[in-house]
């Protein structure tokens, strides 16, 4: 009986330690993303655009908003959900993909992989599938967004952003 209790105690300890590491990784990823708070400029397809990242909701969420010359002005919310860093992208296509993020070992790249999509129909033409944020330095980062198109190769938008003064 003692050996069973000891085994159960060890299993519970291992599980709680693993959950603690995962939670710490998600928090580290979220904190890394918070360092991007501010206003950023880039050029996309020859046109100027602006991205704003704002920490909101008492530090529990980050709002990412893109504005360009056209009607395409999506927003993305980043937040912690237990031991995961998630994003929900409110796409101009009318759907809401969710992705889970992981921080690279060097702490400079956050890569988000598709989890699921809400309000999706094939008539929308596709949905965001993948996103990568790479922090070059405090005033420079890149973003790469992959849009999966119905029956076509994915479209990848790469932005080279500079912090505005």
Q: What confidence tens digit (pLDDT) does each residue in 35-74 have? A: 999 999 999 889 999 999 999 999 999 999 999 877 778 9
Q: What is the pTM of this model?
A: 0.84
3-class DSSP state of 111 = strand
Distance between CA atoms of 15 and 8, rounded to whole angstroms? 11
Alpha helices, DSSP H, located in 35-159: none
The radius of gyration of the chain's CA atoms, rounded to the nearest angstrom, is 19
Q: What is the pairing mode between strands 126-137 and 47-56?
A: unpaired
Do 149 and 125 contact (CB within 8 A), yes or no?
A: yes
Distance between CA atoms of 148 and 156, rounded to whole angstroms? 9
DSSP 153: P
Alpha helices, DSSP H, located in the chain: 2-34
pLDDT at 68: 86
pLDDT tens digit string along 63-122? 999 998 777 789 999 999 999 999 999 999 999 999 999 999 999 999 999 999 999 999
* All domains in the chain, ordered by first residue: 2-163 (2.40.128.20)
pLDDT at 67: 93
């Amino acid at each position: 009986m003692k050996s069973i209790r000891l085994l159960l105690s060890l299993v519970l300890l291992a599980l709680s330690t693993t959950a603690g590491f995962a939670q710490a990784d998600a928090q580290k990823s979220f904190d890394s993303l918070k360092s991007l708070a501010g206003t950023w400029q880039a050029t996309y397809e020859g046109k100027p655009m602006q991205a704003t990242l704002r920490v909101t909701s008492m530090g529990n969420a980050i709002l990412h908003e893109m504005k360009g010359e056209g009607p395409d002005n999506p927003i993305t919310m980043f937040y912690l959900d237990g031991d995961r860093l998630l994003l929900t992208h409110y796409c101009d296509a009318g759907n809401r993909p969710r992705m889970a993020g992981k921080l690279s070992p060097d702490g400079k790249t956050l890569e988000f992989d598709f989890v699921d999509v809400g309000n999706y129909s094939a008539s929308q033409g596709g949905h965001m599938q993948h996103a990568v944020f790479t922090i070059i330095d405090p005033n420079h980062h890149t973003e790469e967004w992959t849009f999966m198109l119905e029956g076509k190769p994915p479209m990848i938008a790469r932005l080279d952003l500079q912090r505005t003064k």
